[in-house]
Structure 1
């Protein structure tokens, strides 16, 4: 094999190795992602309170700092103006527990009283989620899951 071919192959391996290292470094700093998001609404029945629950898996390379959850009616002002991170700042947080690797299972649960149900718009609702990683990266999914209030 000529010396020129060996040098070309060596240079190619160094370039590809550097690109691979860059790709791995970049993949390590990805914004949080959601998977397997589900919402469940149960209306109050007689003397029994109802409930709303939302569960999602959040993956963040630096770890999960917080997950905010907001259920909102599809015919609300958010549908017209759009939901922002600023809107999510004051909403309640989900409880997150490690579920393997860089992923945490996050759950939000709330009791729905008869008064809550009677005062809520009927029809389609969406669940907005804002996940913040420990390194400060944030992602907002304004329609992570849907449910109906009948």
Structure 2
């Protein structure tokens, strides 16, 4: 094998190894991914309170630090763009438990009293979530799920 071919081959291996290392580093910095998001609203009935529950799975290679949840009326001032990441920082946290290698299953539940239901706008609602990974990357989904208050 000539010296020129050996040198070209070595340079090619170095380039491919560098590209592979870059791909691995890039994969580690991916923002959290949401899957299987669902919302359920149960109206109060008689003397029994109702509830609102949101569930989702979050995957992040560095681990999941938190998931914030905010339900908002679809006909509100947020309808055009949804809440911002800054507004979501003050939202309620979900409880997350391991569900796989890099995945957690998060659940947020709150009670809904008769007074809450009476003062809430009727019609479609949206659920916004802010997922934050351990490495600081975030994913904001302003329409992660929807439900109807009747």
Using the TM superposition, give the Cα deviation of residue 3 of structure 1 relative to its aligned residue in structure 2, in angstroms: 4.4
What is the CA-CA distance between 1:53 and the residue it aligns to? 0.4
Q: 5+ unaligned residues in a row in structure 2: which ranges?
A: none
TM-score (norm 2): 0.91
Cα offset, 1:81, TM superposition:
5.9
Is 1:130 the counterpart of 2:144? The answer is no
> Does structure 1 retain, via aligned residues, the 8 Å contact 2:82–2:128?
no
Offset of 1:78 from its aligned partner?
A: 1.1
Segments of 4+ in structure 1 off by > 6 A? none
* 2:41 alignment counterpart: 41
Give the count of matched residue pairs: 150
What is the RMSD computed on CA atoms of the aligned residues? 1.5
Query: Residue 8 of structure 1 aligns to a residue in which SS?
Result: helix
Unaligned runs of 5+ in 1: none
For 1:128, what is the secondary structure of its paired residue?
A: strand
Deviations 1:50-107 (A, max 9, x none): 1110011111222111111000000111114641122112221000011111111110
